[in-house]
Amino acid sequence: MKRWNTCWLALTLGMIVMQATSATAGEKITVGKKATRLVSFDQVSHAAWDKMLKQFCDRDGYVDYAGWKRSKADQIALDKYLATLSAGNPKAPSSPEGKLAFWINAYNAVTVWGILHEFPTTSIRNHTAKVFGYNIWHDLLLTVGDETVSLDTIEHKILRKAGENRIHFAIVCASVGCPRLRNEAYSKDKLEAQLADNTRDFFSRSTNFRIDRATHVVQVSSILDWFGEDFGETPQAGLASLADYLPKSAGAALAQGQFSVKYLDYDWALNDQATRNTARR
């Protein structure tokens, strides 16, 4: 009887936990809409996103969230662009460049939509509940073709699987520590140049990369720690794979001998024009 009571108690507690989880789980928010006609990623236009970025994003990647939030017309324009992305067909043939440009733009546009939905806010981390509640990376979904995808899925299941590690310097989580949000859309025709430029820009900033030649210590963004396997088997190999994008003087110094790698603290503050500091100037 005692054993039966123990099992019953465990079952009851398990049901209570399940009910609590169900009741407090993150609300799913879906953007975009099911399209009546699907097209190749190569055929999806990013012109509207390009226009919005030029209007609300500066050259350092800071966004005028307040201005965007005040403009009902521009919020509707973003909704319409996300609906345009919904017409992309993951099953249709498309060029590697068209596919990458599509998903990079999708990630960045959905992130901006998610911040505008919560604005005013000071950080995306205010909206990334780990256990209970809304998590923007998991619960904000974009309709693409016949399915919905989260930001987490786009980053880890699609973009990282593409074998192009420079995507880490193109997708932006609305934080100061991120790469800059380009004030233009990525496109299949310019993708190589855009990825190269953003990667060079990222490592040109002391907030992301520093080298002490006297101590042979390199300090680099935590992005290369979190996603180290995408760059190389060791931190040194990871930096070596990015040598073409490092400052020339740093690249030469690294090539001369051994060096250790340390990771800089990540700045999760919102990339907001109204509260920007001088970190990226």
- Rg of the chain over all Cα atoms, to the nearest angstrom: 21
Instruction: List the domain boundaries for the chain.
Output: 25-202, 209-263
Q: CB neighbours of 19 closer than 8 A, spacing ≥ 6?
A: none
Distance CA 119, CA 178 (A): 19
Q: Please classify residue 223 by burial: count the beta carbons closer than 10 Å to its beta carbon, then call 0-12 exposed, 13-18 middle and 19+ buried.
A: buried
pTM for the model stands at 0.90
Beta strands in 105-214 (DSSP E): 140-144, 147-150, 209-212
Closest CA to 148 of 21, 29, 24: 29
Q: What is the phi/psi pair of residue 177, to 5°? A: -75, -10
pLDDT tens by residue, the chain, 281 residues: 444 444 444 434 343 333 333 334 579 999 999 999 999 999 999 999 999 999 999 999 999 999 999 999 999 999 999 999 999 999 999 999 999 999 999 999 999 999 999 999 999 999 999 888 999 999 999 999 999 999 999 999 999 999 999 999 999 999 999 999 999 999 999 999 999 999 999 999 999 999 998 899 999 999 999 999 999 999 999 999 999 999 988 877 787 778 999 999 999 999 999 998 654 54
Closest CA to 18 of 132, 114, 108: 132
